[in-house]
A = this chain, B = another copy of it.
C-alpha cells in the first residue's frame, strides 16, 4: 500500500519551499525556489532507487527498471512549479504520488515487467514563461528545444539561462525516454467532484486553451484638462475589453471561460490618462469550434475597439492548444480501479491544462482527478482532503500496475 504518512509529509514539506516573507508560496519555474524544490525531490527519487536524469529543457525524470528490461516505461508525473501565491497541491500531488507508487511496489518486492518512470516537467504553469506545459510540450516534440530555451519571461529573463543558473539545464535530449503510457494524478482545481460528491474523476478529455497578450496604445494626456471627448485612453479601452470578454463568455452555453489575469497600465500615474495597456486574455472551451468562434469574435471586437476608442491594438499569441481526448483504455482502467476500491467515480473534462495533454501526443495517456475543497485552486486556500489524496494515489498505483503488467 501507499505510505500515506510519507506521501502527505512530503507534500507538506514541499509547500514550505518557496515561501516569501509574507508567507506566500511562489515557486515559479526555473527560479531559486524551483531549484530548491527540485533538489529535494531529486534526492527523494534517488533514495527510492530511481536513475535520475535531466533533459535540456530541465525536465527531471527518474527511471525504475529493476528487471533491467530497457523497454518503454509506464510514466507517471506532473510538475513542481507553482503560480504566484499558490496552493500546495497543484502539480506536487502527481509527482509525489508517483514516487509513492514506485516506493510501494519496491517495498512489496514487486518487479514490474515494464519499467516505471516518474517525471517532473518544467514550467507547467506558464506563469513565468508562456506557453504553459512548456516542458512536456518540448518533451513530446511539440516545440523545438532551442525555441523553448529562448523564451523570455514576464521578468525579462531567458528560460535557458535561468535553467543553467539553477543547475537544471541537463544533457538529455527531450523525449529521450519514450513512454509506453502516461498517467497523471492531479487535484481537480474545480468544483465538479466536490459538488457531486464523487471521490475520483476519470479524465477523458481536456479543453482547448488560447492565450493572447493584447497591447493597446492610446495617448497620455492630463487627467484634469483633457475633455472626455478628446481622450484616447488605453485603460478605458482595456476595461471595455475585460467587460466584453466576461459577457461573451457568459453568453454561450456556459462552457466557455475567459480571464484577464494580468493588466498593466503605462505610465501608471494617477493624473495621467493611460498611454498604454498590456493585458493577457485566457480563453478556454472544451469544444474546438466554439473556442475558434470566441477567438474570431475577440479579433473582431479588438478591431472595433481600435476604431471606436481611437487606439491601436496589437496581439501576441502566447499559447494555443486544441482540446485533447485521452486514451479510452486508460480512462476505463481508472474507472475500474476506483470502483474496485469502492470509490465513486465519474468521467469528466479537465478545465486546466496538464502535462498529460502533451504526453498524449507521445503515448496513450489519461488523468486521475481528486476533489478540490470548494473548487479552489491557484489560491493559497487550495486544499484536497488527505483521504482523497491517498485514494487518488492508490488508484494511480492500481492503474500503473495494470499498465506495467505487475
Contact = CB atoms under 8 A, between A and B. Distances in A.
Given A235-B260, A272-B84, A243 B246 contact: no
Interface string A217-241: 0011111111111100101101111
A120 to B, nearest CB: 19
A316 interface: no
Interface in A296-350: 318, 350
B378 A221 contact: yes
B269 A378 contact: yes
A375 B262 contact: no
A282 B222 CA distance: 11
A227 B211 contact: no
A265 interface: yes
A interface majority secondary structure: loop
A271 B259 contact: yes
A181 B105 CA distance: 90
A351 B224 contact: yes
A266 B264 CA distance: 11
A197 interface: no
Interface stretch (A7-15, A159-167, A169-177, A249-257): A249-257
A318 B271 CA distance: 12
A190 B259 contact: no
A229 B243 contact: no
Interface stretch (A37-45, A58-66, A123-131): A123-131
A85 interface: yes
Contacts of A221: 375-379
A83 interface: yes
Contact of A85 (B256, B262, B267, B318): B267
Nearest to A380: B220
Contact of A265 (B85, B211, B263): B263
15 contacts: A83-B269, A85-B220, A127-B270, A189-B222, A189-B224, A190-B224, A207-B224, A220-B378, A225-B375, A227-B254, A235-B260, A238-B239, A261-B272, A263-B265, A270-B282
Interface of A: 83-85, 125-127, 130, 132, 188-191, 207, 209, 211, 219-230, 233, 235-236, 238-243, 246, 249-250, 254, 256-275, 280, 282, 284, 318, 350-353, 375-379
Given A189-B225, A262-B270, 16 more contacts: A83-B269, A84-B268, A189-B222, A209-B224, A221-B379, A223-B259, A224-B353, A225-B352, A228-B250, A236-B260, A238-B242, A261-B268, A262-B269, A263-B263, A270-B280, A270-B282
